[in-house]
Amino acid sequence: MALNPQLLPHGMPVPFVNELFVLDRDGVEFNVDKIPGTHGGNVKVKGTIYLSNIRIIFVASKPVGNFVAFDMPLLYIHGEKFNQPVFHCNNISGLVEPVVPDNEHRALYSTHSFKILFKEGGCGTFVPLFFNLISSVRQYNQQSNMAAETCVDPLLAAQTPVYEMMNHAYVDPNDPTRIFLQQPTPDSQLRRRTYQSRPDESI
């Protein structure tokens, strides 16, 4: 995971090289723990989820403290589960490993637990696409079978073929998820090359 990834002026995440956005979904609540600088480390905030062939990114409608957005590489997510509680809204829960900067030690970073709650409308489009994509990423990138402590480049997920999955996606009329038929980035020069924040490689 990476806290506050780079965003374009209109709020969409700055893409990586070879990153393809699959969908976005408004009206979700995102819960995550162990966020520095927040009350008790826990954040509950509403906003928009973006799903790409590399990661899932939550962008808050309104910042909470220093929390604006949260980036979860698909190769770093595990324990994901779709929950359908009787008295609450449907949600996806799981764990995500941190993206550790090259010059820092893995032991300084903790695994985060997260939950994506579908507060507005159904999730019959989002949920199958998310689980199919994360399964495809794992199959295509054999490195995901390594232990969590092993350094796996999250950008390896970009090699996963996603167009066929997008073209055959079931669209649930009760789900306000928007599938990207065209990539939304107007300026192809704005492309990140690494998760690290070195100025020469940040975009």
Q: Indicate whether this model's pTM tops 0.75.
A: yes
Asked if 122 and 175 count as a contact pair (C-beta separation under 8 A), the reply is: yes
Domains located in the chain, CATH noted: 2-179 (2.30.29.30)
Asked if 71 and 55 count as a contact pair (C-beta separation under 8 A), the reply is: yes
Tokens 């995102």 belong to 30
**Digitized pLDDT (tens) for each residue of the chain, 203 residues in all:** 688 899 988 889 999 888 889 899 999 999 999 988 777 789 999 999 999 999 999 999 998 888 999 999 999 999 999 999 988 899 999 999 988 777 777 777 789 999 999 999 889 889 999 998 998 888 877 654 554 445 567 776 666 666 566 655 667 778 888 887 777 655 555 677 777 654 444 44
How would you class 4 by CB atoms within 10 Å of its CB: exposed for 0-12, middle for 13-18, buried for 19 or more?
Answer: middle
